[in-house]
Amino acid sequence: MVVVSSLVEVATELRQRARLQEPPYSTSQIIDACFDAAVTGRILPDGIDELVTRTDDGYLIVYHRELPIAEQRFAIAHALAHIIFDGDVAGCSIGFAGDPEREARADRFALELLVPLDELAPYVGRWPSDDEAEHEAYLDQVDMIASHFNVPACRIDERIRELKR
């Protein structure tokens, strides 16, 4: 398991260990290079995109098979955050969808793993706008960048808004 101080450092180290230099960053290569984990898809209940459990043979990540591929990738990266930062601490149980802070951290990590801000910046030429035509052009850019990184467009929008801060 990787022990480093920040989400950015951990994500960077994982991509480096997997020898990934350009997006889209392969979650399969990251898992093969850095984790004792198996990944499979299943139909999961509504509202559950992924789950993680530890077995005698290592971790098992199950993603919701009905999600679009870009969202499956994000769910797998989110699950990796739970393995790295939460280990065997149970995050969910019957009637409890997980600690909001852990879930938010897992989302931030998945974003950093798949869409590093420093690598996103050169692709951004437009910003969210109150002007309808400008905003539509911005959304076109978001879609193109999402396709390049193979993540959901809403996640690219999130990251661009982080850049603007």
Q: How much is the pLDDT for 18?
A: 98
Do 127 and 143 share a domain, yes or no? yes
Residue 2 pLDDT grade (very low, low, confident, very high; cuts 50, 70, 90): very low
**Whole-model pTM over 0.75:** yes
Do 94 and 128 share a domain, yes or no? no
β 37-42/58-64 pair status = parallel
Residue of 49, 50, 74, 66 lying closest to 159 (CA atoms): 74
CATH number at residue 12: 1.10.10
Contact predicate 147/24, CB 8 Å: no
Distances (CA, A) of 2 to 7, 31, 35, 112, 154: 11, 12, 9, 15, 28
Instruction: Please give the mean pLDDT across all residues of the chain.
Output: 92
Strand, coil or helix: what is 31?
helix
Do 109 and 128 share a domain, yes or no? no
Do 36 and 63 share a domain, yes or no? yes
How many other C-beta atoms are found inside a 10 Å radius of the C-beta of residue 23?
A: 18
The number of distinct structural domains making up the chain is 2
Contact predicate 81/109, CB 8 Å: yes
**Stretch 39-43: mean pLDDT:** 98
Residue 164 pLDDT grade (very low, low, confident, very high; cuts 50, 70, 90): confident
Do 127 and 108 share a domain, yes or no? no
Residue 14: give the domain boundaries. 1-114
Do 70 and 134 share a domain, yes or no? no
Do 88 and 160 share a domain, yes or no? no
For 45-77, the pLDDT digits (tens) are 999 999 999 999 999 999 999 999 999 999 999
Least confident interval from 4-8, 17-21, 77-81, 123-127 = 4-8
How many other C-beta atoms are found inside a 10 Å radius of the C-beta of residue 34?
A: 19
